[in-house]
Amino acid sequence: WWFIDGAPLADTDTRQDFTPTLSKPGRYQLSVLDESGQTARVEFSVVE
């Protein structure tokens, strides 16, 4: 499961990819949660 700033973004199976669309500049946090409960996250900025 993928999240942007804590909001659900996508649900992907293994080896399935997706392309998120961010419509405005700003700081974001992208998080992922797998079936075993492991998480990872990255913070990034989108600029015009």
pLDDT at site 11 = 84
| 5, 21, 43, 47 from 26: Cα distances, Å | 11, 13, 11, 7
Beta bridge partners of 41: 31
For 3-46, write each residue's pLDDT tens digit. Answer: 999 999 888 876 777 777 888 999 999 999 988 999 999 999 99
Radius of gyration of the chain (CA): 11
Domain borders along the chain are 2-46
30 versus 48: which is more confidently predicted?
30
Other beta carbons less than 10 A from residue 33's beta carbon: 13
| pTM, two decimal places | 0.77
Cα separation of 26 and 13, whole Å? 28
Cα separation of 15 and 42, whole Å? 20
48 versus 44: which is more confidently predicted?
44
